[in-house]
Amino acid sequence: MLSPHRGHPACWLLVLGLTAFGALADDWSTYSNARYGFSLQYPSNVFAVERTAEADDGQVFVAKNGDARLLVGTLSNESNFTPASYQSYLARNSYADYRLGYHRLGGSWFALSGEGNGKIFYEKVMFSCAGNRINSFAMIYRSEQRHIFDRIVERIENTFRPGPKC
């Protein structure tokens, strides 16, 4: 790839576009689920609501340029997963096509991240209501845009709160 320092117009446009896109992440909004109470902040100039779950237990956001998806929701823990067993379940069933690069496990939460097929995923899961509810958010984005979305994921992760409503 040509360096933008060599003055190639297409490269300058790409750099300007990515810089502008990154700057848009300064306008953050809070999504709070009225039914279950979980919440997080997301950059509303980057993501728009694509759909709300019929059961009112989550939402899907899509990046306005189409390069990323943000899913946030909750589900009943009818299978009596622990954080460790659910982490293993997700790694095997949802992210089998990714190379796991990061996994952390706490007493009532876990995080997973990996890369594969030109995409990166990050998922944070928190158990609430004495383990009866599983609250999570996941973001999937193109690997070449990690310099934009890694920072967004970090801030979302810092603002994500499980719901107190069972």
Least confident interval from 4-13, 23-32, 34-43, 104-113:
4-13
Q: Are 164 and 127 in contact (CB under 8 A)?
A: no
How does pLDDT run across 52-61, given as a tens digit for each residue? 998 889 999 9
Exposure of 101 in the CB half-sphere (CA atoms within 13 A): 9
Dihedral of the alpha carbons of 118, 124, 84, 164, in degrees to the nearest 10: -160
pLDDT digit string, tens, across residues 130-154? 999 999 999 999 999 999 999 999 9
Give Cα separations from 46 to 11, 66, 68, 119 (angstroms). Answer: 22, 10, 9, 18
Residue-level pLDDT at 39 = 96
Query: pLDDT digits over 53-95, tens only?
Result: 988 899 999 999 888 999 999 999 999 999 999 999 999 999 9
Please state the pTM of the whole predicted model. 0.82
Q: Nearest 5°: CA angle at 118, between 113 and 122?
A: 20
- Give the 3-state secondary structure of residue 14: helix
pLDDT of residue 61: 96
Q: Does domain 27-159 have CATH number 3.40.1000.10?
A: yes
Could you tell me the two tokens for 131? 């383990």
